[in-house]
Chains A and B, each alone.
Chain A
Amino acid sequence: MTRGLFILGEILRASFREWPRWLGFSAAVALVLASGSAMVLLQGGKAEEGGGAAWVTVAYISEEVSDPELNQLGWDLWKLEGVKRVSFRFAGDELPGGGVAESRALLIWTDDEAVASSLKEEISRLAQGKVTDVEIVALHYPSPARLPPLSRVISLVALVFFAFVSLVLVRSAAVRTLDRWRNEWNLLRFSGIEPWILTGNFVGTVVLWGLMGCILYVLVYLGLRGAVGGFPGVREVAPGYVTSEAFPYLVGFIIGPIWAALAGVLSLLLSGSQSQPEASEI
């Protein structure tokens, strides 16, 4: 354990001399995670999708109608074709679309204006003239904000681009760090330290640098959410961004380090020929 930590510390120390490249790799990891998150969280779709209208028939009920009768009336109305739901308001309660109920009222919700109009007669018939007034309230819901579908394509392109950039940067940083650490690597190899210990510690170094990017990602994610998460537009465009508490931690501390480890292994494979001990003759 201590030998592993010592070797890890030594490789990490050598990597600090190439800090601009490693920092670039960390930033690229953060951008990989950010673009991947955008791809998952953004709600793409056409702007008109999700909007709609509803018609509410407000039937003011006479004081003569008892509660059980009112209950029965609501039940009978709910069974009519085209009725979505039936609700109740006391006098003074707020009505949908603004306004206040003048007296006890049943609210019959429909999606169709014609159905709402036809309900007037049905209500009078069922209530046997104990309805003092009937009015229809039209409700129009605006479409929720949507980003064009292209936004997710752009996120995907960004994800691939930053993944590529992170690989280029980690390879460049790895080659230079291994070059600086070549003597140490060879000395330990010739001292009998098994190659997997050296390789494992090198990948560990890459993961540590990648972890910096992961922490940066989580901090920016949470900071941004704190700043703009309350805006309705943000809730509509990316509901998961506001509601999912676990998402940034899952991405930042599980997917991020896995990506960094993969990048580390790939960087070693790509720079392998330059990290081998020098060959002696037969």
Chain B
Amino acid sequence: MLGTYDIAIQVSELCFVTEEGVAVFEDLSFTLLRDEIKFVVGPTLSGKTLLLKLILRELYPTRGQILVAGRNILRLNSRKLAKLRERIGYVPYPPVILPHRTVEENLRFKLRALGIKGERAEEGVEKALSLTGFGPLKELLAYELGEGEKRVLAMAVAICNDPVVLLCDDPFRELSPSDQARVMDALRSIRNGGIASLVTTDDLRLPRRFGFPDEAILPLRPGVVA
């Protein structure tokens, strides 16, 4: 039986209807375990990014429940939400990195802005660099990295403060197969480091191509007018 600690995200009976009356989600339910990578797969306008924004509580669902690390994010006050929000790593599309700073400086910038210093900061940097394979490249300036490496750097920045979950919006889009493999390796390594990932993509075959079972895929269909 699964305990609260084992579940990174639990979404139950989630509904979202846009102002135009388009029902993007109808009773969407899924669970993301702490040691799991789940792919949210669907075509454009199927609600992939919307789902991530609902989990980040940048938008409110019409109905349903979202638990992150066992906490119902829809019931948290703004102070508690801000605390929890810092424990959710998020890589948007396009990913955001600081091109004129080194790989390590990118991580330290976020950690200092979050008020994380000393030993905790050192551990965070070391863990993020090692999980994403950036150890030898940490002195490189971010703009010198290849496209796939930049995506991975954005993931390293997202996980450097040891979040419970990593949300990645379309990290494989417009990448070469080798870069996609680099990103996937990083995701697996992050998962092995104890951080679950929820990853969106519009390529239905991509998870299977990298050997993930059907249970790791959450298919979304374009919304219908309610």
| Genuine A/B complex | yes
Interface size on A, residues (CB 8 A): 20
Q: Does A194 contact B (CB under 8 A)?
A: yes
Cα(A273)–Cα(B225), bound, Å: 31
Residues of A within 8 A of B48 (CB): 282
Q: A2-B117, A191-B114, A278-B94 are in contact. Are A184 and B109 (CB under 8 A)?
A: yes
Residue from the list A186, A187, A281 in contact with B44, Cβ < 8 A: A281
Q: Does A183 contact B (CB under 8 A)?
A: yes
Interface size on B, residues (CB 8 A): 33
Residues of B within 8 A of A281 (CB): 44-45, 49
Q: Does B82 contact A (CB under 8 A)?
A: yes
Report A199 CB to chain B, min CB distance, Å: 14
Report B9 CB to chain A, min CB distance, Å: 16
Q: Are A190 and B92 in contact (CB under 8 A)?
A: yes
Nearest A-chain residue to B169, judged by Cβ: A280
Q: Are B97 and A183 in contact (CB under 8 A)?
A: yes
Q: Are B24 and A282 in contact (CB under 8 A)?
A: yes
Q: Are A191 and B86 in contact (CB under 8 A)?
A: yes
Q: Does A265 contact B (CB under 8 A)?
A: no
Q: Does A193 contact B (CB under 8 A)?
A: yes
Nearest A-chain residue to B200, judged by Cβ: A280
Q: Does B131 contact A (CB under 8 A)?
A: no
Q: Does B50 contact A (CB under 8 A)?
A: yes
For window 76-118 of B, CB contacts with A under 8 Å fall at 78, 82, 85-86, 88, 90-94, 96-99, 106, 109-110, 112-115, 117
Residues of A within 8 A of B86 (CB): 191-192
Q: Does B157 contact A (CB under 8 A)?
A: yes
Residue from the list B50, B85, B97 in contact with A192, Cβ < 8 A: B85
Cα(A184)–Cα(B93), bound, Å: 15
Cα(A2)–Cα(B118), bound, Å: 13
Nearest B-chain residue to A194, judged by Cβ: B82
Q: What are 8 contact pairs spanning A and B, CB under 8 A?
A: A3-B115, A184-B109, A187-B110, A188-B113, A191-B90, A192-B88, A194-B82, A281-B45
Q: Which residues of A contact B (CB under 8 A)?
A: 2-3, 6-7, 10, 183-184, 186-188, 190-194, 277-278, 280-282
